[in-house]
Amino acid sequence: MMSRKAPFLSTTLMKAVVVSKFGGTEVLEVKRNVPIPQVQNDEVLVRVAAAGVNPVDTYIRSGNYGNLPILPYIPGNDMCGTVVQCGNSVENFREGDRVCSFRTVGGAYAEYTTVKEQHLLKLVETYDFVKGAAVGTPFLTAYRALFHDTSIKPGQKILVHGASGGVGVPAVQMAAAHGLEVYGTAGTEEGMEMVKKLGAKYVFNHRKEGYASEIKLAANNEGIDVIVEMLSNVNLARDLDLVAKNGTVLVVGCRDMIEINPRLLMTKESRIQGVMVNAATDKELHESVSFIEAGLRNGVLDPVLGPKYSLSDVQQAHEDIIHSYGSKGKMVLIL
């Protein structure tokens, strides 16, 4: 017996987005006859209300990712919904719990999904499901970048590129709460104003010619101790010029190749560090989840919602998350 109790479901089939081959947005197919996944001992079955969309979802879908799923698969790891069934060994969740995830077994773009117990967070009572779907991967990524991959200290200068986006928002909030001097960039006036309200001391328009010189001036030409980089194929060479002596550039996102001058690393003895939530140990994940749950409850952390789409508009969502003019918060699919 794999679970303590079978859920009351009127059907064994569900609606889900299925990818049968890697490629463009056209490979995202909404199907209505997908089997509801079976729960294993350490998993819960969740009725999904909303699913978060991340840039990494598009990299995987296109086949341009280091660890690709077996086809066919259901995309997504961030979702929010209600527990309807628990495996025998699940201890911390029960039927009816409102939860959100940062990793799934069954995929997030579906009416139901399975999730391992350690990959769930309990939803804050005051949050609706849509807001809960904006937590997941971005918040885990921001925490890992700031506190697992660098010895960041209060009082240091940190630059968050793309600070109005899904990962940028919690990165700014966490950095400000930790006592850092936060510099942020965004691509629109609206996004810049939002980043300022999140806790950034200085905000710059990364679409403006010469904005890097403005950052240098604001930092008194001392350099930036830590740079959180969402689009390294565009900004990495510039980051190596901006980073301080012994500073760190944390690469959270990349969409292509880039050429850099290693001398910039040598002269400052700076470093480039990759960031990947999937590389975290169980102990590190537990630490991250504990911090994020506490931060959400006490209001230090607060997700910002971006555009909302229906499941049938998933192709447009994947287009927009890559090609939109300026990001503002986390993109969410409503089921």
8 Å CB contact between 241 and 264 = yes
CATH class of 138-278: alpha beta
Distance between CA atoms of residues 252 and 231, nearest Å: 8
- Cα of first residue to Cα of last residue in the chain, in angstroms, is 30
pLDDT at 326: 65
Q: What is the DSSP string of 132-147?
A: HTTSHHHHHHHHIIII
Architecture of the 13-135+303-334 domain: Alpha-Beta Complex (3.90)
Instruction: Say whether 17 sits in a helix, a strand or coil.
Output: strand
pLDDT at 2: 52
DSSP run (H or E) holding 270:
none
How high is the mean pLDDT in each 10-residue block of the chain (335 residues)?
55 95 98 96 97 95 92 98 96 96 97 96 95 96 91 94 95 97 96 96 96 96 96 94 96 90 94 93 94 95 95 97 80 96
Tokens encoding 40? 């294993």
- Return the number of other C-beta atoms located less than 10 Å from residue 311's C-beta: 20
- The sign of the dihedral angle between the CA atoms of 155, 156, 157, 162 is negative
pLDDT at 1: 45
- Of 128, 109, 115, 120, nearest to 53 by C-alpha is 109
Please give the torsion angle defined by the CA atoms of residues 63, 23, 259 and 181, in that order, rounded to the nearest 10 degrees.
-80
Domain spans, the chain: 13-135+303-334, 138-278
